[in-house]
Amino acid sequence: MKFYLRTYGCFKTSNVKKKIKRKNRFFVYIVQCRDGTYYTGYTNNLNNRINLHNKGFGAKYLRGKGPVRLVYVKEYRYYKNAMTMERYIKKMSRKQKEKLIKNYSHSFTL
């Protein structure tokens, strides 16, 4: 991180390194819609996202298909990993998603 120190009318640059503590958690999730279809997404605030989906916001696909039910969730430390997994799951067939959901252990509670 660079910042400028004002010293007697001139500016000097100084490099300051700070340790960044990552508190972020990213979630890949699958919800089941009222009509039985599945929707996959990722977020950093799972409770808020599920509430948004149930209110009809958050994803155009889910508008009018609520209420949704959370059937799968996995936590990641880095958003890039979560995005990659989301894309991977979205490319799966319905049968593959059902197998993933069936093998999922419900260790995560809201």
Could you please state the CATH topology (level 3) that the domain comprising 19-103 is classified under. GIY-YIG endonuclease (3.40.1440)
Task: Parse the chain into domains and list their residue ranges.
Answer: 19-103
Separation of alpha carbons 44 and 42, rounded Å: 7
Tens digits of residue pLDDT in 58-82: 888 888 888 999 999 999 999 999 9
**pLDDT the model gives residue 16:** 62
Is the predicted pLDDT of residue 104 greater than 90, yes or no? no
Please give the pLDDT value at position 86: 96
Q: How many CA atoms lie within 13 A of 91 on its CB side?
A: 6
Residue 17: its pLDDT value, please?
65
pTM of the model: 0.73
Give the tens place of pLDDT for each residue, 16-39. Answer: 666 655 568 999 999 999 999 999
Share of the chain above pLDDT 70, in %: 74
- Which distant-in-sequence residues (6+ apart) come within 8 Å of 12 by Cβ? 4, 5
